[in-house]
Amino acid sequence: MKQYLTKLVSFFFLILATTIISNAWAFEIITKEDIRQGNVVNVDLIKTADNAIILFDSSSSMNKPYKDSGISRYDIAKMTLTERNSYLPDLGYNFGLYLYTPWKAIYPIQKYDRNKFAQALDTLPKKASSGTFLTDGLRRLDSILAKLEGKTSVFIYTDGSDTNRGGGMKTPSDIAEELAKKYNVCFYFISTADDYYSDALFTKKYNFCSRVIGFDNFIANPMYNSEALFTVKATKDIITVTDKKVVGIKTKNFLFNFDKSELSQDAKDRLQILAAFLKKNPTAFAALAGHTDNTGTKKYNLGLSKRRIEAVANYLIKNLKVAKSQIVMFWFGQLNPVADNTTREGRMQNRRVEILVGGM
């Protein structure tokens, strides 16, 4: 049971012992002079939203145990917030965290600060209690959205129930639909609902970007909230023309043998360069993106690409003592080829992990 729960809550830190073949890759230095001369094509994480608001469910029904873990849905939901705050890159967001059971501002909408947000998370109630006043919470959200500029992602942790305290017969879905028409907002309902009535509470399609995310999927895949806030920008190779003051580094792709995810000794040696850089530059972060060729099923390849980045992340964190907060992980399976999958050489190029360094 302990092993199941640890994997459930901290999956991206429990890395499989796997290997990687790196037959032709190296680290290149990015300097201030490079950037000034325009010789560097930057690789970075790009914001997909300007603001993020979390409406958190601390109602008594969230005390129900999650599956056979022996831990409440409420506690696991809090853990996911804490963990993902630890590695979310700070791209200049405004962040807000509110309880709606009943309404309470835990982190009123303001400039995102990882440490202050972590402190706010610590003030969440120790145990879930009270009713689920989601209708009231969504009504209050209107006045917050009205003061924001740009795009807003709203994450709503919910068990699917609602205690409507009057004010008309509108449902949470009705209000969310109105807000989606009124503001530049995307709703992500992170639902622990496990019965037909609760599930049906959020069946409306508010706009192209809003969705209901099952709790299982949300726990198992960090991309569900990452892609709502940022995405990886593709880039060309970096041309280094000087060795002035170092402000960043990039690597050529890690290439893998077919169906493999194992680290060679050469790869381990070279990762020491990246680790040394990250430790000397604590504000920097490494974004790891895992890919495969198109051999096999999409589901299998998604898992394989995840294992490949986990091999790299595990070695950086556990062996080379890089801070967990400096590692951001993505896995895309076969969705983003860089070469022709119909040729042997192309498939080899697609079996890769890309490492992009930002935050300088």
pLDDT digits (tens, 9 = 90+) for 278-308: 888 887 778 788 889 999 998 899 889 889 9
Distance from C-alpha of 180 to C-alpha of 173, rounded to nearest angstrom: 10
Q: Would you say residue 43 has pLDDT above 50? A: no
Least confident among 98-102, 194-198, 266-270, 339-343: 194-198
Kindly indicate the confidence band of residue 69, based on its pLDDT and cuts at 50, 70 and 90: confident
CA dihedral (176, 179, 180, 181) positive or negative: positive
CA max distance for the chain: 67
pTM: 0.56
The average pLDDT across 102-111 equals: 96
The token pair that represents 55 in the structure block: 């409406």
Distance from C-alpha of 192 to C-alpha of 198, rounded to nearest angstrom: 9
Average model confidence (pLDDT) across the chain: 76
Contact predicate 201/171, CB 8 Å: yes
Distance from C-alpha of 146 to C-alpha of 53, rounded to nearest angstrom: 13
pLDDT digits (tens, 9 = 90+) for 216-231: 777 765 555 556 887 6
Q: Would you say residue 72 has pLDDT above 70? A: yes
Ordered structural domains, the chain, with CATH: 2-44+236-358 (3.30.1330.60), 48-229 (3.40.50.410)
